[in-house]
Structure 1
Amino acid sequence: MILPVVLRPPREEDVSAMIELMNAASRAAFGTADTTEAELRRWLTSPDVEPERDIRLAEQDGRIVGYADVDPTGTEPVRNWCDICVHPSVEVETVAAVLVGWAEERSREGFLRVWAPSVAADLKRSYERLGFDLVRHSYRMQIDLGAEPDAPAWPEGIEVRTFSEGDERAVYEAHQETFEDSWEHVREPYEEWAHWLIERDDFDPTLWFLAHGGNDLAGILLSVPMESEPDAGYVQILGVRRGWRRRGLGVALLQQAFRAFHRRGFARVTLGVDATSLTGANRLYESAGMRVVRQFDFYEKAL
């Protein structure tokens, strides 16, 4: 017998159960626990998130077995990004259908966009049966740090330093500008940007690298130790302004980060990238020695 699925907003006392749910799903897909309490709380306290409005937990017989959130973009038509997670021990399609139904009601208009690990066959099948179309893929890429990585070869005229207090707005503007060429880029409010990248306990300004060409901030690489994998570094943002592209600056910034993490004893560095990046970012990462270790599939449905 399939138990009824009951939806409700999250409460403070649900945090541990939510982490257990998300990590059960990531263990089933990848064999790793990918969600930390810090990461979850950062999402729950994001400036544009109201948990009562934007998040639902799915319960069966009093047990939390599913999660969904909706994050609409400021575009026309609106694209409602929806993260859905279902515990692998339950009937995935049943729970996913209820969560998608709520997400459609919450979104109301535009498009509903969901995603799943490429290996999550049950969840992907659920989306397809609910009328979603596969529209795109993304990769998680990684480099293993064995011997000391190559020293960066900086383009002529470039000087590099780490982040200092007072650089916040310049780095923010460089990030927003350098990502204008990415898929469906939406300018992020400064408050939200700072919440995710600076106002966090593990923020380390010595892992933010700023490349200047004269008075211009030509490129940035922002990185952090990976919360869920203590021996891994994570590149949050790599951006090069248009006038400085195709000169080797992106690879040099990556090499700078690789060497910084290697010297601190990290075993590898990872990042996420659009599989069909409009700027060819995935090819740049491959040229720096990174390889694909995970794939995620994105689905979309018109409302």
Structure 2
Amino acid sequence: MELREPAREDAPLIADLLNAHSSALFGERDLAPAQILDWFALPGLWMRLAELERRPVGYADLSEEGGRWSIDLRALDARAARVLLEAACERTAQVAGGKGALLRGYAPAEDALAVGAYSSAGFDVVRHSIQMRVELSAPPDP
């Protein structure tokens, strides 16, 4: 398992990985490479790509806003999920400079790999949310 910082050129690989993840969980693709490219312009966003035999198997990013650290963890492999989460926790501790830091992780309830990694690392569930949508047959009235 190798972790590396992705480059802009990796946007299609990351999109394919995240779409495979979304398809496995929800039966649909989620992102386009152009959306991933936008992430590279976000200030302070720490990103890592996990590869197994040169094949992407996991992605994580870490951001800080107002003293709150947030991790987005998505993996197709349990080991990748654990390794990425460990790296994000280490990065938070490093950047926080020894001060206490609150790290929040996100995972859909259906994502057993991420939920398992968070649970094993001592994260506690603090809230649940759902995402809802409707397909409109026609545009709404103005």
So what's the TM-score if we normalise by structure 1?
Answer: 0.42
Checking the alignment, whether the CA contact within 8 Å between 2:85 and 2:117 is kept in structure 1 is: no
Aligned length: 136
Checking the alignment, whether the CA contact within 8 Å between 2:11 and 2:34 is kept in structure 1 is: no
Answering whether residue 44 of structure 2 is matched by residue 49 of structure 1, we say yes
Matching residue within 92, 98, 111 for 2:83? 98
Partner of 1:259: 141
Shift of residue 144, structure 1, vs aligned partner? 3.5
CA distance in 1, matches of 2:112, 2:27: 15
Shift of residue 123, structure 1, vs aligned partner? 2.1
Is the helix fraction higher in 1 or 2?
2
SS at match of 2:130: strand
SS at match of 2:44: coil
Higher Cα Rg, which structure = 1
Unaligned runs of 5+ in 1: 149-257, 261-303
Partner of 2:20: 24
Moved more, 25-34 or 59-68: 59-68
> Structure 1 counterpart of 2:44, which letter?
V
Is the strand fraction higher in 1 or 2?
1
Q: CA RMSD in A?
A: 1.8
Shift of residue 138, structure 1, vs aligned partner? 2.2
Q: Deviations over 1:228-268 (max 9, x none)?
A: xxxxxxxxxxxxxxxxxxxxxxxxxxxxxx335xxxxxxxx
> 1:1-303 maps to which residues of 2 (within 5 A)?
5-46=1-42, 48-50=43-45, 54-74=46-66, 78-87=67-76, 90=77, 92=78, 94-108=79-93, 109-146=100-137, 258-259=140-141
SS at match of 1:123: helix
Higher relative contact order (CA 8 A, sep 6+): 1
Shift of residue 147, structure 1, vs aligned partner? 6.6
SS at match of 1:55: strand
Instruction: State, as a whole percentage, how many aligned pairs show the same letter.
Output: 37
Q: Deviations over 1:193-248 (max 9, x none)?
A: xxxxxxxxxxxxxxxxxxxxxxxxxxxxxxxxxxxxxxxxxxxxxxxxxxxxxxxx
SS at match of 1:102: helix
Change (3 A) 1:42 1:147: closer
SS at match of 1:56: strand
